[in-house]
C-alpha cells in the first residue's frame, strides 16, 4: 500500500492529464466524423468509434502493467526487446501488402504495425547503450554502434515501404546531438588519413544543426534543378546532382585559389581541408538524394513533386491534400459545431482517411481556428512537459529515453498538422492519441507510461 502511494505521489500528473485529455478529444472527433445513425451508441463495436474505445482500454491496461513493472527491467531487457521487434519487422515483409505496403501483422483490419513498437524498443536500447558510454572518450567504433542501432530498423521499415515512420526515426539523430554524440570521430579518422595532416577536433559537432539545414536546402535544390532539366549532360537521369556537384567543384576551386592568394600557409592548409571535406559531403548528399528519388515508387515521387509545387493536380493525385486544406479552411474562426463537419465527414468522403491521417481536418472544421489553437497548445504542453521531465532526470538512460519520446511526439505532431494544412507532404503519419488505430494508440501509450515510470523512480537512480 505504501509502495503504491509512493508511486502515485511521484507520478507526473500534468503529463498524465494532458495524455488523457488528448485521448478524449480524439475519441470525440472519431465519434463525430464516423458517426452512423444506425449505430448511435459510442459503444457500438462494429463502428470505428467503438473499436477505438477497445484500443484505448487495451492501451491503458497495457500502460498500467508497464507502470507497475520495476524500471530496471526496461534497461536490462532493452536488447532482447529490440531483437524481437527487429524479428517482427523482418516477418512483416513476408505478409500480403495492404495499400501497397507490407507493414501489418494480422488478419484484415485487426492487426498491429511492428514499426510503431520499434520506436520504443530502439529508444530503450539506444538509451542503454549511450548511457553506458564515456562521452569524453568517444571513438568511431562507439559512434558506429549507436548508428547501427538506429539504422537497422530504419532500413527494414524502408523496405516495407513506410516512408513516414522512416522519417520519424531521424528524430534519434537530434537525441544523439543533444547527448554530445557527434560524428567527429568519423571525420577525424578521415582527415588523419590525409598525409601530413593531424587534427584532434573538428567543428562539425558544434555546427550540426546549421549543417543539417544546409544539407536539407541542398537536397531540395537538387530536386528542383533535376525537375527543370538543368544539368551538365542532357538525358542523364541524375542531371540535377551533376549540376550541383559541378557547381560545388567550381566554388571549391575558387575558394582555394582565393585563400592561396590572400591567406597564410596555415590558413590555406586548414581552409583547403574544410572546403574539400564540405565538397565531398555536399556532393554525396546531392547524389544520394536524387538517386533515391529516382528509385522510389511513382506515387511517392508525385507526393514530393506536388508538395514542392513542381506539378499541379488538385483533383487527382493532390486531391487528399487539396481537400484537407479546404476542410480546415471551411471551419472559419469558431467552426461549424460538433458533428456538423461536412467537407471532412466520412459520409461525404471528400477527405479520404479523415479518421486517421487527416483527423485534424474534421476537428478544425467543427471547432474552427479557436479550437485548433487550443489543440495545438495542448500538444505543445505535452511536448514541453516531456522535455521538462527529460531535463530533471539524474540517470542518462532516463534522460535519453525521455528526449526520444519528446522528439517522436514533436515529429508526429508537426508532420501530421503540416500534412493537413499543406505545409508537409502526405506521408501517412498519425496524430498521437487522436488518429484512429490500435498500433499507434498502444505504442504511444506504452511509450508514455514507461516514461512516467522512469520519472517516478528518478530519485532512486544515480546513473
Strand partners, 120: none
Question: Dihedral angle at the C-alpha atoms of 173, 446, 27, 421, nearest 10 degrees?
Answer: 0
- Ranking 188-202, 250-264, 375-389 by mean pLDDT, the lowest is 188-202
Mean pLDDT, rounded, for 110-114: 78
pLDDT tier at 230 (50, 70, 90 boundaries)? very low
Across the range 28-37, mean pLDDT stands at 87
- Considering its fold, how many domains does the chain have in total? 1
Residue 385: its pLDDT value, please?
A: 94
pTM of the predicted model, to two decimals?
0.79
Q: Is 166 part of a structural domain of the chain? A: yes
Which pLDDT score, from 0 to 100, does residue 132 have?
83
Q: pLDDT band for position 326 (50/70/90)?
A: confident
DSSP state of 350: S
Is residue 56 domain-resident? Answer: yes
Tell whether 226 is covered by a domain: no
Mean per-residue pLDDT, 392-414: 92
The answer on pLDDT for 239 being more than 60 is no
Please say if the pLDDT value at position 352 is more than 50.
yes
Output the pLDDT for position 22. Answer: 94
Paired strand residues for 105: 112
Residue 113 placed within a domain: yes
Average pLDDT, the chain: 77
Bridging pattern class, strands 110-112 and 105-107: antiparallel
Residues 166, 124: contact at Cβ < 8 Å?
no
Q: In the chain, what percentage of residues exceed pLDDT 70?
A: 63
Taking alpha carbons only, the member of 209, 240, 208 closest to residue 223 is 240
Phi/psi-derived region of residue 9, left when phi > 0, alpha when psi is between -120 and 50, beta in every other case: alpha
Other CB atoms within 10 A of residue 151 CB: 13
Mean pLDDT across 329-349: 81
At residue 235, the pLDDT reads: 44
User: Higher model confidence: residue 213 or residue 82?
Assistant: 82
Is pLDDT of 336 > 80? yes
Flag whether pLDDT at 443 surpasses 80.
yes
pLDDT of residue 34: 85
Whether residue 456 is preceded by a cis peptide bond, meaning omega within 30 degrees of 0, is no
Would you say residue 41 lies in a domain?
Answer: yes
Name the DSSP class of 349: T
**Range in 10-19, 222-231, 292-301, 446-455 with the lowest mean pLDDT:** 222-231
Give the separation between CA 370 and CA 325, rounded to whole angstroms.
Answer: 17
Supply the pLDDT for residue 65.
93
Output the DSSP codes for 14-54: HHHHHHHHHHHHHHHHHHHHT--TTS-STT-TTSHHHHHHH
- All three cell numbers of 7: 508511486
| Res 118: pLDDT | 92
Q: Which comes out higher in pLDDT, residue 200 or 222? A: 222
pLDDT, residue 95, reads 81
Residue 42 belongs to some domain of the structure = yes
pLDDT at residue 40 in the model? 82
Q: Is the pLDDT of residue 36 over 70?
A: yes
Q: Minimum mean pLDDT among 61-75, 100-114, 158-172: which range?
A: 100-114
Q: Which of 84, 87, 63, 165 is nearest to 445 (CA)?
A: 63
Q: Give the domain extent around 140.
A: 2-202+296-455
Q: Assess if residue 279 is contained within a domain.
A: no
d(CA 375, CA 413): 11
Per-residue pLDDT band for 143 (boundaries 50, 70, 90) equals confident
Residue of higher predicted confidence among 230 and 321: 321
Judge contact between 331 and 366, C-beta under 8 A.
yes
For the record, the C-alpha cell of 16 comes out as 498524465
H or E stretch at 106: strand 105-107
The pLDDT assigned to 83 comes to: 94
- Compute the 3-state secondary structure of the chain and give helix, strand, coil in percent, each to the nearest 5: 70, 0, 30
More confident position, 121 or 70: 121
Out of 190-204, 291-305, 431-445, give the one with best mean pLDDT: 431-445
pLDDT value of residue 386: 95
pLDDT for 446 equals 94
pLDDT of 387 reads: 93
pLDDT at 291 over 70: no
Q: State residue 225's pLDDT score.
A: 60
Residue, of 300 and 72, whose pLDDT is higher: 72
pLDDT(173) > 90? no
DSSP lists the bridge partners of residue 107 as 110
Question: How far apart, in whole angstroms, are the C-alpha atoms of residue 179 and residue 129?
Answer: 12
Q: Per DSSP, what are the bridge partners of residue 110?
A: 107
What pLDDT score was predicted for residue 176?
84
Q: Per-residue confidence at 97, pLDDT binned at 50, 70, 90?
A: confident
Q: Return the pLDDT at 159.
A: 83
Amino acid at each position: 500500500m505504501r509502495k503504491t502511494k509512493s508511486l502515485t505521489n511521484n507520478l507526473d500528473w500534468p503529463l498524465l492529464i494532458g495524455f488523457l485529455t488528448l485521448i478524449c478529444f480524439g475519441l470525440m472527433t472519431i465519434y463525430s466524423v464516423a458517426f452512423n445513425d444506425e449505430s448511435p451508441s459510442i459503444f457500438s463495436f462494429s463502428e470505428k468509434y467503438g473499436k477505438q474505445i477497445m484500443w484505448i482500454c487495451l492501451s491503458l491496461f497495457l500502460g498500467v502493467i508497464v507502470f507497475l513493472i520495476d524500471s530496471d527491467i526496461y534497461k536490462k531487457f532493452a536488447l532482447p526487446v529490440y531483437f524481437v521487434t527487429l524479428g517482427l519487422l523482418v516477418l512483416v515483409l513476408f505478409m500480403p501488402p495492404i495499400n501497397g505496403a507490407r507493414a501489418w501483422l494480422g488478419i484484415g483490419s485487426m492487426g498491429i504495425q511492428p514499426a510503431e513498437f520499434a520506436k520504443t524498443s530502439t529508444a530503450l536500447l539506444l538509451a542503454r547503450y549511450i548511457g553506458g558510454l564515456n562521452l569524453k572518450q568517444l571513438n568511431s567504433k562507439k559512434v558506429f554502434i549507436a548508428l547501427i542501432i538506429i539504422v537497422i530498423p530504419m532500413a527494414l521499415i524502408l523496405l516495407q515501404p513506410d516512408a513516414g515512420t522512416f522519417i520519424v526515426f531521424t528524430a534519434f539523430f537530434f537525441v544523439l546531438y543533444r547527448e554530445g554524440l557527434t560524428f567527429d570521430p568519423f571525420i577525424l579518422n578521415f582527415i588523419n588519413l590525409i598525409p601530413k595532416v593531424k587534427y584532434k577536433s573538428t567543428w562539425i559537432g558544434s555546427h550540426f544543426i546549421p549543417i543539417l539545414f544546409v544539407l536539407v536546402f541542398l537536397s531540395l535544390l537538387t530536386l528542383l534543378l533535376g525537375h527543370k532539366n538543368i544539368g551538365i549532360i542532357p538525358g542523364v537521369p541524375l542531371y540535377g546532382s551533376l549540376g550541383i556537384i559541378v557547381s560545388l567543384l567550381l566554388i571549391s576551386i575558387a575558394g582555394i585559389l582565393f585563400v592561396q592568394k590572400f591567406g597564410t600557409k596555415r590558413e590555406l592548409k586548414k581552409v583547403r581541408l574544410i572546403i574539400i571535406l564540405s565538397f565531398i559531403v555536399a556532393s554525396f548528399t546531392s547524389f544520394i538524394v536524387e538517386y533515391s528519388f529516382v528509385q522510389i515508387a511513382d506515387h511517392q515521387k508525385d507526393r514530393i513533386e506536388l508538395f514542392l509545387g513542381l506539378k499541379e493536380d488538385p483533383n487527382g493525385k493532390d486531391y487528399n491534400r487539396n481537400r484537407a486544406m479546404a476542410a480546415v479552411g471551411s471551419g472559419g474562426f469558431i467552426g461549424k459545431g460538433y458533428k456538423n463537419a461536412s467537407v471532412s465527414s466520412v459520409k461525404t468522403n471528400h477527405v479520404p482517411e479523415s479518421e486517421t491521417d487527416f483527423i485534424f481536418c474534421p476537428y478544425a472544421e467543427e471547432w474552427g481556428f479557436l479550437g485548433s489553437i487550443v489543440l495545438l497548445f495542448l500538444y505543445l504542453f505535452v511536448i514541453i512537459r516531456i522535455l521538462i521531465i527529460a531535463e530533471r532526470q539524474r540517470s542518462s538512460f532516463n534522460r535519453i529515453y525521455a528526449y526520444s519520446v519528446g522528439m517522436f511526439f514533436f515529429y508526429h505532431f508537426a508532420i501530421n498538422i503540416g500534412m493537413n494544412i499543406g505545409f508537409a507532404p502526405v506521408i501517412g503519419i498519425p496524430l498521437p492519441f487522436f488518429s484512429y488505430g490500435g498500433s499507434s494508440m498502444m505504442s504511444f501509450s506504452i511509450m508514455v507510461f514507461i516514461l512516467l515510470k522512469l520519472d517516478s523512480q528518478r530519485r532512486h537512480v544515480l546513473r
